[in-house]
Amino acid sequence: MALLLNIDTATENASIALSENGKAVLTMVNNQQRDHASWIQPAIQDLLKKTGRTMQELQAVAVTAGPGSYTGLRVGMATAKGLCFALGIPMITENTLRVMAYAATVQTFPNGDEYRIKAGLKNGTLLCPMIDARRMEVFTALYDLGLNIVQNPAAIILDADSFNKELENNSILFLGNGSAKWKPVCNHPNAFFADVNQTAEHLAPLAEVLFLQEKFADLAYEEPVYLKEFYSHIKK
């Protein structure tokens, strides 16, 4: 049982959550992607103040390690490392795509729970989180309903034949901001789409399991999971 600070700055919405025993006590969200770096430290102080807890009570810091926004990942990782070094506590990392997949299993969807009615979240259903990686490229992976990896996280370029083999034998729920550009291309009857909003609250239960298993990251050598090299449009 642990008191954890959970950090997710991997996508357009940054969030932090204080969790106890794997359940979020309070979650705070920032929707301005360019402000993640300036928002996070004051937000952590505000989070602790509102929950009546202190930095010294934290037992670990968990962070989404990627894939995702290059800058966002660096903000989250640097923040987590700095706190862990200063407080002498362990750091826990989790793949962003796995957090997204978990969020899909616990989120209630609107419009009559359309996805659960059609696909049933039954045996044979796979979860495919997608993060936009420019043009028709996405960061993605496939998970079963137990969040076990079926297809390893990777950066792929989508086309009309993507996931054809997997869709023949499985219903697949596509989610995340990358799935918006895949939806008009994919016409397979076993493909379903849903808006799933993950936050640091969804990182919390996954981080709790890793904490109890003592699966901690190496503070000195842990790096974000980028999946592809960063590039800039700025001309030199």
The domain spans of the chain are 3-95+198-212, 108-193
Query: What is the tens place of the pLDDT at every residue in 79-89?
Result: 999 999 999 99
Flag the least confident range among 42-56, 97-111, 141-155: 97-111
Question: Given this structure, which CATH class describes domain 108-193?
Answer: alpha beta
Same fold for the pair 3-95+198-212 and 108-193? yes
Q: Tell me the β-bridge partners of 147.
A: none
Model-level pTM? 0.91
Q: Report d(CA 191, CA 128) in Å as an integer.
A: 10
Residue range 3-95+198-212, CATH number: 3.30.420.40
Top mean-pLDDT range of 123-132, 148-157, 165-174: 148-157
| Sequence-separated (6 or more) residues with CB below 8 Å from residue 19 | 3, 4, 6, 25, 201, 204, 205, 207, 208
Q: Report d(CA 39, CA 29) in Å as an integer.
A: 10
**Taking 80 as the threshold, does the pLDDT of residue 115 lie above it?**
no
List the Cα angle 8/13/14 in 5-degree steps.
Answer: 35
**Taking 90 as the threshold, does the pLDDT of residue 10 lie above it?**
yes
Q: Report d(CA 19, CA 210) in Å as an integer.
A: 14
Q: Report d(CA 83, CA 13) in Å as an integer.
A: 21
**Taking 50 as the threshold, does the pLDDT of residue 236 lie above it?**
no
Asked whether the CA dihedral 30, 130, 222, 6 is positive or negative, the reply is positive
